Amino acid sequence: MGRNQRGAGRQRVTLTAALRGGAQQQILRAPAAPVPPPAPAHALAVDVSNYTGPLSAAALEAWKRRGIGLVIVQAVDPPAPYPPTQTVGQIRACVAAGLQVEAYVYLWFTLGASDIKRKLELLKGLPISRVWLDVEDTTATHMSAKQRANLVMAALDVIQAAGFETGIYTGGWFWRAEQYMANTIAFRAFNLWSAQYDGIADASVFTPYGGWDRCTLKQFRGTTTLDGVPNVDLDVSA
């Protein structure tokens, strides 16, 4: 998901520091209830897809030790020869491990909102409150930016009508491009999950576009193997 973009900001956390497991336990002199480790300044997350494969309990526990609290699972059931769907199994594994789970759906402009509705069926009965709309399809070269924007809005409407909170996943490389979204500001009221591959686990380090001056989530590193699990992306929340 996404392409390279660079940002600059005040607080910078390196990837090594961000993924270092554990936190210092505070020690009290006076008798008192144990004090839990302080919450990290920026909560770490990962996103996965059918290319990731099944998620083992051991890997999920390792992720938790790294401070990862959120997993975002792609809702997809592709035809052969693509890897088969992992959506339901991945979500159930994360829930069993005590992780927060959200989902995302990829918008193919030529398939439109009806395809989004079909993918949402995979989430029925699962504890998902938010579904992100993945907007980065470069194949519909015959469409104008206005046509694409209309399809994005229709897809967001479908997600909300299904009872989910929503937001947009994209990258500045795609959104700013005249041949894709022409940097429209029509969606600035929606939460943004932005691909910005700078290796900095800090969502405040963000290069604005599309009327957004901040992002809710930042995907700071793309395709990665983490604790033996391939094809995951690394994210951080604001």
141-190 pLDDT, tens digit per residue, is 999 999 999 999 999 999 999 999 999 999 999 999 999 999 999 999 99
Q: Which residue has the tokens 């009508």?
A: 161
Instruction: Give the total number of structural domains in the chain.
Output: 1
The reply to whether 10 falls in a domain is no
Look at residue 42 in the predicted model and tell me its pLDDT.
Answer: 67
- For the domain that residue 123 is a member of, what is the CATH number? 3.20.20.80
pLDDT of residue 81: 95
pLDDT value for 41 = 52
- DSSP string covering the chain: ---------S----HHHHT----PPP--SSS-PPPPPPPPSS-EEEEE-TTT----HHHHHHHHHTTEEEEEEE---PPTTSPPP-HHHHHHHHHHTT-EEEEEEE--TTTHHHHHHHHHGGGTTS---EEEEE------TTS-HHHHHHHHHHHHHHHHHTT-EEEEEEEHHHHS-TTTTTT--TTTTSEEEEE--SS---TTS---BTTBSS-SEEEEEEEEEETTEEEEEEEEE-
Structural domain contains residue 28? no
Query: Is the distance from CB of 156 to CB of 190 less than 8 angstroms?
Result: yes
Question: Is residue 8 in some structural domain?
Answer: no
Residue 91 Cα distances to 62, 68, 79, 96, angstroms: 17, 15, 20, 9
Is residue 57 assigned to a domain?
Answer: yes
Within a domain: 156: yes
List pLDDT tens digits, range 54-63.
Answer: 999 999 999 9
Residue 104 lies in a domain: yes
pLDDT for the residue 175: 98
pLDDT at 19: 53
pTM for this structure?
0.84
Q: In this structure, is residue 6 part of a structural domain?
A: no
pLDDT at site 33 = 44
Residue 133 lies in a domain: yes
Q: Give the residue numbers spanning the domain of 102.
A: 15-20+37-237
> Which residue ranges in the chain fall short of pLDDT 70?
1-42
